[in-house]
C-alpha cells in the first residue's frame, strides 16, 4: 500500500527531470498525506491534485470517502465499477516522488516506519508513482495504483506502489488500457531500493531541498 510519500525536488528540477511543458509551484514535503495537494503529471503537463480519488458516483466532495480511496489495486482497476470508466478513458497520471514511507504490516507500537528511496545512480533524486486521476469542476483528485510487493520489499509489506522511472512517462500515459495493465504487472518494478528506518524528525527547511 502507500499511505505516505515525500518529494524533495523543487518545481524547476521536477520539470527538468520529467521534461514537462508546464511547471507549477508547490512546497516540497517530507510527509505528503491523503487529502493534501501535491504535483502530478499528465501527458507532460504538471499540475496540482488532491490525494484521494473522488469517484463519479459521489454526490458531493466527500473527503471521508476520498481518504479511503488513496490507493487503488492495479489488479482490479479495470473491472471495479468505481474505477473502470476512468481506466478506460486513459485517466492515468504520474505522481512525482523522492520516496515513500511504509510501516510493518503487523503493527508495532511506536515504530517510525521505513523510508524507501531509489539507490540507482541518476534516479536517487526522484521517480514517479503511477496514478489514476479525475476532475470535478476545478478539483483534481488522484489515487496511487498499487501491486503485490517485490521480493525486496515484501518483508515490510505485502503491497507496494506501482512505480516508474521518469523516462517511462510517455509509454505509461500513452499506452492502451491493456498495455498499461501489462506494464503495471511486468515492467514497473523498480530495483535497487535503499531502505532505512525512518527518523522521527521534523521536515527539513526548503533550503535543504534539491534545486
Phi and psi angles of residue 210, each rounded to the nearest 5 degrees, phi first? -65, 140
Q: pLDDT tens, 164-185?
A: 999 999 999 999 999 999 999 9
Q: pLDDT tens, 56-99?
A: 889 899 999 999 999 999 999 999 988 999 999 999 999 999 99
Question: How far is 172 from 117, CA to CA, in rounded Å?
Answer: 21
Question: How far is 104 from 2, CA to CA, in rounded Å?
Answer: 12
pLDDT attached to residue 204: 42
Exposed, middle or buried, 134 (CB in 10 Å: 0-12/13-18/19+)?
buried
Q: pLDDT tens, 135-164?
A: 999 999 999 999 999 888 888 889 999 999
4-197 maps to which CATH number?
A: 3.90.1680.10
Question: How far is 141 from 36, CA to CA, in rounded Å?
Answer: 10
Q: Are strands 45-51 and 139-148 parallel, antiparallel or unpaired?
A: parallel
On whether the CB atoms of residues 64 and 32 are closer than 8 A, the answer is no
pLDDT attached to residue 160: 93
Q: Which residue has the cell 469517484?
A: 55
Eight-state DSSP code of residue 185: I
Question: How far is 169 from 127, CA to CA, in rounded Å?
Answer: 10
Question: How far is 144 from 131, CA to CA, in rounded Å?
Answer: 4
State yes or no: pLDDT of 205 exceeds 50: no
Question: How far is 174 from 180, CA to CA, in rounded Å?
Answer: 9
Q: Where are the domains of the chain?
A: 4-197
On whether the CB atoms of residues 96 and 69 are closer than 8 A, the answer is no
Amino acid at each position: 500500500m502507500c499511505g505516505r510519500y515525500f518529494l524533495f525536488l523543487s518545481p524547476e528540477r521536477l520539470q527538468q527531470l520529467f521534461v514537462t511543458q508546464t511547471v507549477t509551484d508547490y512546497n516540497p514535503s517530507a510527509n505528503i498525506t491523503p487529502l493534501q495537494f501535491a504535483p502530478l503529471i499528465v501527458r507532460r503537463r504538471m499540475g496540482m491534485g488532491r490525494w484521494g480519488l473522488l469517484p463519479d458516483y459521489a454526490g458531493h466532495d466527500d473527503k471521508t470517502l476520498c481518504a479511503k480511496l488513496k490507493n487503488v489495486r492495479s489488479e482490479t482497476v479495470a473491472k471495479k465499477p468505481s474505477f473502470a470508466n476512468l481506466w478506460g478513458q486513459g485517466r492515468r497520471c504520474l505522481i512525482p516522488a523522492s520516496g515513500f514511507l511504509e510501516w510493518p504490516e503487523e503493527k508495532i507500537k511506536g515504530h517510525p516506519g521505513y523510508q524507501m528511496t531509489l539507490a540507482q545512480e541518476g534516479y536517487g533524486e526522484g521517480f514517479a508513482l503511477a496514478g489514476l486521476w479525475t476532475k470535478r469542476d476545478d478539483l483534481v483528485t488522484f489515487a496511487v495504483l498499487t501491486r503485490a510487493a517485490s521480493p525486496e520489499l515484501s518483508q515490510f509489506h505485502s503491497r507496494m506502489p506501482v512505480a516508474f522511472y521518469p523516462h517511462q512517462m510517455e509509454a505509461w500515459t500513452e499506452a492502451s488500457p491493456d498495455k498499461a495493465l501489462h506494464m503495471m504487472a511486468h515492467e514497473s518494478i523498480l530495483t535497487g531500493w535503499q531502505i532505512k528506518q525512518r527518523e522521527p524528525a521534523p521536515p527539513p527547511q526548503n533550503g535543504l531541498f534539491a534545486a
